[in-house]
Amino acid sequence: MTGKTYAARPRRFGVVLASLALIATACTSGDAETQGSDEADAAPAELSISPDTGEENLPPNSPINVAAEGGSITGVAVDQSVGDDDEDDSDLYDMTGTLNEDDTEWVSDWNLRPGAEVVVTATAENEAGEETELVHEFTTEEAPEGSRLGLASNFPNSGDTVGVGMPVVINFDRPVTNKVEVENSMDVESEEEIAGAWNWVDDQMAVFRPEEYWEPHQQVSVDLNLAGVEAADGVYGNRNHKIDFEVGRELIATMHVPDHEMEIEIDGEHDRTFEVSNGAANREFDTTTSGTHVLMERHEDLTMDAATLGIDEDDPDYYRLDVKYAVRTSNSGEFVHEMSSNGNIGSANTSNGCTNLRMDDAEWFFENTLMGDILDTTGTDREFKWDNGWGYWQMSWDEWLEASETGEPQVTDGSGTPAPVHGDV
């Protein structure tokens, strides 16, 4: 079955087939009786399962293949138990699979847990509705300490409510070289389906971005089916993870820097206008970047120290400021924050590159925006870079998709990822 293409089907495999009952009446013809007799004499369906039963210490990225002859596959159940099973997350390891068009071949969607005792139970029915069952048992090798792929951090976290521009950011604890397999092990599903794709900022950071902004007011789930995936030579994912978050209302902030104003639009309606002061633009360092920014972390109180940007204390451009209500918009030191001492708010751009607001406006912005909200900025000659913070919307969809390791979109309708996750076995 290696290399076989499967028809698009729901990944959550569960099949219930009703047996056809032949009802005899006084008008039943001889043909009907012959047909019933043929069905009664039908040979049982034959099942085969790979890997073979009794095999030990298989690579956890081994696929499970089930095939039926003389009938149709009606069910496949995969139990994966390990010594440190946690009942609270056992549902993270429910194995799904994909059937071919005539229900005679099934292949597992995801890899297997390392160090697991695996029991595969498959059933099939022949034309007469008679059931055949086959059970295989085998074990997978462990992923030893020092050779396990895990999560260092992720954004958003489960339970977060985010803005419509929110990317899914996954930071791994070690470098990934088999990026295709890892990319295809991470499945994103949303209530409002949309095409999206993963990209790699570096060997340890993968980012999912939809083709367009998320539809507001919906739930999104990210299934990180990392257990068993070979991330690098001899390095396997050890656990699965799930992230559930909510996309809230749509908030878009816009600024044309020369106008000294910020417009706030919520769910398509103008909400308010703030007077602002942006970067003085005497040099690149203090020029506010133009582009689509995604709001990131926030601090009610923040000391802004130019040393964090590589500017020494004896440099004329050095500064150290204590500010309130700071919301990060880039990794190059740009924030939207309070700077009530700036008397040029609303009339001139005199900041070090940040967006300065008066106290009340800064407090409103801090309390009413979400991680993932959008700030669109125009009017400067310093372009916001796609890899500066969460500048991922700076790439067109075609550019983003082309840079994906698979080069194929992932539709968030539950149909699964674009390509296999298993090794070359």
Q: Which of 136, 241, 293, 337 is catalytic?
A: 337
Please indicate, yes or no, if residue 5 is contained in any of the structural domains.
no
Instruction: Name the E strands within 257-297.
Output: 261-266, 269-275, 291-294
The CATH number of the domain holding residue 286 is 2.40.440.10
Please indicate, yes or no, if residue 1 is contained in any of the structural domains.
no
CA dist 75 to 45, 69, 78, 214, 259, Å?
13, 15, 10, 35, 64
pLDDT attached to residue 40: 60
CA dist 331 to 71, 126, 348, 382, Å?
59, 62, 24, 15
Query: Which residue ranges in the chain fall short of pLDDT 50?
Result: 1-12, 14-34
Q: Which of 136, 260, 293, 354 is catalytic?
A: 354
Query: Is 27 one of the catalytic residues?
Result: no
pLDDT attached to residue 268: 98
pLDDT attached to residue 50: 98
pLDDT attached to residue 83: 77
Please indicate, yes or no, if residue 23 is contained in any of the structural domains.
no
pTM: 0.87
For residues 272 and 349, membership in a common domain is answered with yes
Domains of the chain: total: 2
For residues 122 and 237, membership in a common domain is answered with no
Please indicate, yes or no, if residue 385 is contained in any of the structural domains.
yes
pLDDT attached to residue 65: 98
Which residue reads 């698979």 in tokens? 406
pLDDT attached to residue 32: 44
pLDDT attached to residue 10: 42
Query: Which residues form the domain of 375?
Result: 146-425
Q: For the segment 25-47, what is each residue's pLDDT rounded down to a tens digit?
A: 333 344 444 455 555 678 999 99
For residues 292 and 373, membership in a common domain is answered with yes
For residues 197 and 257, membership in a common domain is answered with yes
CA dihedral for 257, 260, 265, 269, sign (positive or negative): negative
> Which value, in Å, is the radius of gyration of the alpha carbons in the chain?
28
Please indicate, yes or no, if residue 12 is contained in any of the structural domains.
no
